[in-house]
């Protein structure tokens, strides 16, 4: 076996605080399983689009107590480097995934041992509460143990800075540098006078603000079915519904209690085909017209609505358009900003221009969206992957407040005898059909990650001349930066005025993703239905060409 690999494994074993993980690695060493050890040691988890995220396993490529311990030591050193006093504190939270509680305990012990004040969430709670609490408590940082919508085998570590937003470069690089140089830390315990539970008053202030912000005067009898997809959003979301005046809520009982096994779902992601099937079946039984779903940490929002032809799950972009149509009218200050990412639909930019509101396009991820306003105020931001920020009080995506905003819009439309689909018709009649889809190709293991990198490089070096019979008018290497954005790994293929495709590696999963949009100008003497048919056909043709182009 490779001697350097043996040295790295033995060094890791010497520092790992977990008996079972040490025993597992020693067993792999003893039997000479070089392939498996390479999988665990060839690369280490890095801060990607949404922090650390990966499979729970021993070794630097996995989420485990030692990875969490080292990362938290990195956070302590980073806060010291940027001049944040330990007394400002760090908010610590967790979801209900397997491993989340012990990882949370590790974070708390390392922080207290380093003399840092800790504000700990009292139980497994949604990620947006941590982002909110960082600002509400004027804390120095926030750490959330969650893998959001990833498969059951994964877990993760999300880090917020003093502004309540997810960290960006160079902060992530500083944390990683210190984490990689970490030694055995002193550990504290909850008997320390520096340990505090986040109070019910802080959590209640979130509820009061958003229930008031999106309240329905006189209450609403809109029939809604809700599912938290086995996550932690259930009880908080039901309280918010009631406080905001929504009184006809049915729940998917099989998916209501937090359960890190996610027994009814292969992937606990509202985007995945079939994820809302149980919710739609319950909605039929309850005579609901709207399905609302949160992902397991409740920072994302899925929506399905009853159309004349049956249930239809809305795309992330469509939810973004609907929310913007309701929120843009409220924006009157020149400091107001709306934002979305370069992989999301371009319609928000057109809607903002029409409303006279400043628009910004950002790199992928809410860590960029939350900072899009610069010196202004981000009033609305979204990404097509079901992430929405509808109020500046939370500097991250928030599936709970966004759910209230969608429900209020659906209620107001119903009062006029209209539906969410009627509003979408109005928007595409006015701004043109924007047909969008995503192609996602999964690749496991180190060889899979190499295949993803190689494929992106292939497109970068030899871009296609056409996609779906539409000319590629420009190929933009995003690694060189573009339109004032920082460099990022990816390629943007512009299809003239007809749309665009962005190809990039996922920042949260081992996937290669292609984000497609085909646009048709409004009118042109055709019905909206006919235009949508043309758009769908063009989009399908682009997708077919991409499947050939991106084949591993």
Counting Cβ atoms within 10 Å, is residue 386 exposed (0-12), middle (13-18) or buried (19+)? buried
Would the pLDDT of 123 be above 90? yes
Taking only the tens place, the pLDDT of each residue in 167-213 is 999 999 999 999 999 999 999 999 999 999 999 999 999 999 999 99
> Which CATH superfamily, name and number, covers 43-198?
Alpha-D-Glucose-1,6-Bisphosphate, subunit A, domain 3 (3.40.120.10)
Residue 76 pLDDT: 98
Distance between start and end Cα atoms, the chain: 30
Helix H or strand E segment including 426? helix 420-431
pLDDT mean over 313-327: 98
Taking only the tens place, the pLDDT of each residue in 384-439 is 999 999 999 999 999 999 999 999 999 999 999 999 999 999 999 999 999 999 99
In the chain, what are the domain boundaries? 43-198, 204-429, 432-549
Taking only the tens place, the pLDDT of each residue in 373-388 is 999 999 999 999 999 9
pLDDT mean over 342-369: 97
Indicate the DSSP class of residue 186: P
pTM for the whole structure: 0.95
Q: Model confidence at 266, in pLDDT bands (50, 70, 90)?
A: confident
Counting Cβ atoms within 10 Å, is residue 89 exposed (0-12), middle (13-18) or buried (19+)? buried
> Which of 9-18, 410-419, 445-454, 458-467 has the weakest average pLDDT?
445-454
Q: At what angle do helices 200-213 and 399-415 cross, to 10 degrees?
A: 30
Taking only the tens place, the pLDDT of each residue in 321-353 is 999 999 999 999 999 999 999 999 999 999 999
How far is CA 151 from each of CA 155, 431, 481, 511, rounded to the nearest angstrom?
A: 9, 37, 32, 13
Residue 552 pLDDT: 84
Q: Model confidence at 525, in pLDDT bands (50, 70, 90)?
A: low
Partnered with residue 358 across adjacent β-strands are: 337
Would the pLDDT of 46 be above 70? yes
How far is CA 155 from each of CA 211, 260, 313, rounded to the nearest angstrom?
A: 31, 10, 27
Q: Percentage of the chain surpassing pLDDT 90?
A: 93
Q: Model confidence at 43, in pLDDT bands (50, 70, 90)?
A: confident
Distance of CA 483 to the CA centre of its chain: 24
> Is 482:500 a contact under the CB 8 Å cutoff?
no
Active site residue 374: no
pLDDT mean over 205-229: 97
Q: At what angle do helices 19-30 and 3-15 cross, to 10 degrees?
A: 160
Q: Model confidence at 450, in pLDDT bands (50, 70, 90)?
A: confident
CATH topology for 432-549 is: TATA-Binding Protein (3.30.310)
Pick the CATH number of 204-429 from 3.40.50.150, 3.40.1000.10, 3.40.120.10, 3.90.930.12: 3.40.120.10
Domain 43-198 identical in fold to domain 432-549 = no
Integer Rg of the chain from CA: 23
pLDDT mean over 102-120: 98
Q: Model confidence at 446, in pLDDT bands (50, 70, 90)?
A: low
Residues 43, 87, 148, 498: which is the catalytic one? 148
For β-strands 90-94 and 52-55, DSSP reports them as: unpaired
Q: Is 66 helix (H, G, I), strand (E, B) or coil?
A: helix
> Is 219:141 a contact under the CB 8 Å cutoff?
no
The C-alpha angle 433, 435, 440, rounded to 5 degrees, equals 170
Q: Model confidence at 110, in pLDDT bands (50, 70, 90)?
A: very high
pLDDT mean over 485-510: 92
């Amino acid at each position: 076996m490779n001697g350097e690999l043996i040295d790295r494994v033995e060094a890791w074993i010497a520092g790992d605080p977990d008996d079972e993980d040490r025993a597992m690695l020693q067993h792999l060493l003893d039997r000479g399983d070089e392939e498996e050890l390479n999988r665990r040691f060839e690369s280490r988890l890095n801060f990607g689009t949404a922090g650390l995220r990966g499979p729970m396993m021993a070794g630097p490529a996995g989420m485990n107590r030692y990875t969490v311990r080292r990362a938290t030591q990195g956070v302590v050193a980073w806060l010291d480097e940027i001049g944040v006093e330990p007394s400002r504190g760090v908010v610590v939270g967790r979801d209900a995934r397997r491993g989340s509680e012990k990882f949370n305990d590790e974070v708390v012990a390392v922080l207290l041992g380093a003399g840092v004040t800790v504000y700990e969430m009292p139980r497994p709670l949604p990620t947006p509460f941590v982002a909110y609490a960082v600002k509400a408590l004027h804390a120095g940082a926030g750490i959330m143990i969650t893998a959001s919508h990833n498969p059951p085998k994964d877990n993760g570590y999300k880090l917020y800075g003093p502004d309540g937003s997810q960290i960006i470069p160079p902060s992530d690089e500083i944390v990683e540098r210190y984490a990689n140089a970490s030694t055995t830390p002193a550990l504290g315990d909850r008997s320390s006078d520096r340990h505090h539970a986040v109070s019910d008053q802080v959590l209640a202030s979130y509820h009061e603000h958003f229930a008031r912000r999106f309240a329905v005067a006189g209450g609403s009898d809109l029939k809604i079915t809700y599912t938290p997809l086995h996550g932690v959003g259930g009880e908080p979301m039901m309280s918010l519904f009631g406080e905001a005046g929504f009184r006809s809520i049915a729940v998917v009982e099989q998916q209501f209690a937090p359960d890190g096994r996610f027994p009814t779902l292969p992937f606990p992601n509202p985007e995945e085909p079939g994820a809302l099937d149980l919710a739609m079946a319950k909605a039929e039984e309850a005579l609901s017209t709207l399905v609302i779903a949160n992902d397991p940490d409740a920072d994302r929002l899925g929506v399905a609505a009853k159309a004349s032809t049956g249930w239809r799950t809305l795309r992330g972009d469509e939810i973004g358009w609907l929310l913007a149509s309701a929120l843009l009218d409220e924006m009157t200050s020149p400091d107001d900003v709306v934002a979305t990412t370069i992989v999301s639909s371009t319609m928000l930019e057109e809607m903002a221009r029409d409303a006279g509101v400043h628009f910004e396009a950002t790199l992928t991820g809410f860590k960029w969206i939350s900072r899009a306003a610069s010196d202004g105020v981000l009033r609305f931001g979204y990404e097509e992957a079901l992430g929405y920020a509808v109020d500046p009080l939370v500097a991250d995506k928030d599936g709970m407040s966004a759910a209230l905003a969608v429900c209020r819009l659906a209620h107001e439309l119903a009062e006029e005898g209209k539906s969410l689909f009627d509003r979408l018709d109005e928007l595409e009649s006015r701004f043109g059909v924007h047909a969008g889809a995503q192609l996602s190709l999964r690749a496991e293991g180190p060889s899979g990650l190499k295949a993803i990198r190689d494929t992106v490089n292939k497109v970068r070096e030899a871009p296609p001349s056409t996609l779906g019979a539409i000319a590629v008018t420009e190929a933009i290497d995003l690694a060189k930066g573009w339109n004032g954005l920082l460099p990022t790994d990816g390629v943007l293929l512009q299809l003239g005025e007809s749309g665009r495709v962005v190809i990039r590696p996922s920042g949260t999963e081992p996937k290669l993703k292609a984000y497609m949009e085909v646009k048709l100008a409004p009118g042109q003497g055709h019905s909206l239905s006919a235009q949508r048919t043309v758009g769908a056909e063009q989009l399908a043709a682009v997708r077919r060409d991409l499947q050939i182009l991106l084949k591993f």
